[in-house]
Amino acid sequence: MTNKTTTLSKNQKLILTLLQEAQQKTGFISEEAMVGIAESLGISRSDVYGVATFYSFLSVQPQGRNVIRICKSLPCHLKNGQEIIESLEKQLGVKPGETTPDGKFSFTLTNCIGECDQAPAMLINDDVHGNLTPDKIARILKTYK
């Protein structure tokens, strides 16, 4: 007897693993990659797309050389998080979900990154940056090529 919940969970883990592999190869998850995963698992494209767009660390769009994920959750929000997000928008010249014209940075909003003690916080690639201020962000951005 099959437990449907367990089967679904295993499928989602498998989809997630395949999506992560696809992203590691090209930096994002292409339409072709999602179709290939759907066909190989015998599931719908929308199921694959649903997983690909659920997790903020996965992207279905080409990304810049450095990916900024800034926290939008409540603890960061309560410590001037919105001001920090707006400052980052201004400094980069792009909105969340966009990439700078030079391809240097992609900018996205994310839920808690587990660094609430350093709120407001963001990730650039795998680097954590916390206790952010507009001036600190400007200094941090200069350190990325």
Q: How far is the CB of 20 from ligand FES (least distance, A)?
A: 22
Q: Quick one: which of 22, 37, 84, 113 contacts ligand FES (CB under 6 A)?
A: 113
Token representation of residue 41: 């698992």
116 binds ligand FES (CB under 6 A): yes
Beta strand 127-129 with 98-99: parallel, antiparallel or unpaired? unpaired
The binder of ligand FES chosen from 41, 58, 60, 112 (CB under 6 A): 112
Query: Taking CB under 6 A as the rule, does residue 68 contact ligand FES?
Result: no
For the segment 33-52, give every residue that binds ligand FES (CB under 6 A): none
Residues numbered 70-89 forming contacts with ligand FES, rule: CB under 6 A: 71, 73, 75-76
Give the burial string for 27-37 (b: 16+ CB within 10 Å, else e): bbbbeebbeeb
The alpha-helical segments, DSSP class H, found in the chain are 4-26, 31-41, 45-54, 74-76, 82-92, 134-142
Residue ranges that bind ligand FES, judged by CB under 6 A:
71, 73, 75-76, 112-113, 115-116, 119, 121
